[in-house]
Amino acid sequence: MRAGLHPFGEDFGNGDHDREYFLLDDDSPRYRAAKAAVTDDRHAVVDDTPAHHGVHRAVLSFVRERLVAEHGLALPALATLDDDTPLAARYRALQDAVQEDFAVLHRGDDDDGETIALSVCFPSGWRPERLRGSSFQGIHEPVPGFAKNPAAARSMVRAMVERGPYVRFVWTVSADDHLDHHPEHGRRLSWDAATRGFLRLERQVTVPFPDVGGSLFLIRTFVRPFEHLTASERQTLHEAVAVMPDDIAAYKGLLAGRDRILGLLSAS
pLDDT at 147 over 60: no
pLDDT at 86 over 80: yes
Q: What is the pLDDT of residues 87-97, one digit of tens each?
A: 999 999 999 99
Reported confidence tier of residue 133, pLDDT bands at 50, 70, 90: low
Q: Comparing C-alpha atoms, which of 226, 203, 231, 256 is closest to residue 4?
A: 203
Tell me what pLDDT residue 132 has: 73
Q: What is the pLDDT of residues 165-189, one digit of tens each?
A: 999 999 999 999 999 999 888 788 9
Cα 39 from Cα 128, distance rounded (Å): 11
Task: Give the residue with greater pLDDT, 218 vs 81.
Answer: 218
Three-state DSSP class for 57?
Answer: helix
Reported confidence tier of residue 75, pLDDT bands at 50, 70, 90: very high
Compute the half-sphere exposure of residue 156: CA atoms within 13 Å on the CB side of its CA. Answer: 20
Tell me what pLDDT residue 126 has: 85
pLDDT at 131 over 80: no
Reported confidence tier of residue 111, pLDDT bands at 50, 70, 90: confident
pLDDT more than 90, % of the chain: 74
Reported confidence tier of residue 149, pLDDT bands at 50, 70, 90: low
Average pLDDT over residues 140-167: 80
DSSP 162-175: HS--EEEEEEEEES
Mean of per-residue pLDDT scores for the chain: 91
Q: Comparing C-alpha atoms, which of 16, 34, 21, 2 is closest to residue 220?
A: 21
Please check whether residue 128 is in contact with residue 240, taking contact to mean a CB–CB distance below 8 angstroms.
no
Which parts of the chain are beta strand (E)? 6-7, 43-45, 101-106, 114-119, 166-174, 198-209, 214-225
Other C-beta atoms closer than 10 Å to the C-beta of 188 total 15
pLDDT at 268 over 90: no
Q: Comparing C-alpha atoms, which of 159, 154, 152, 146 is closest to residue 113?
A: 154
Tell me what pLDDT residue 141 has: 66
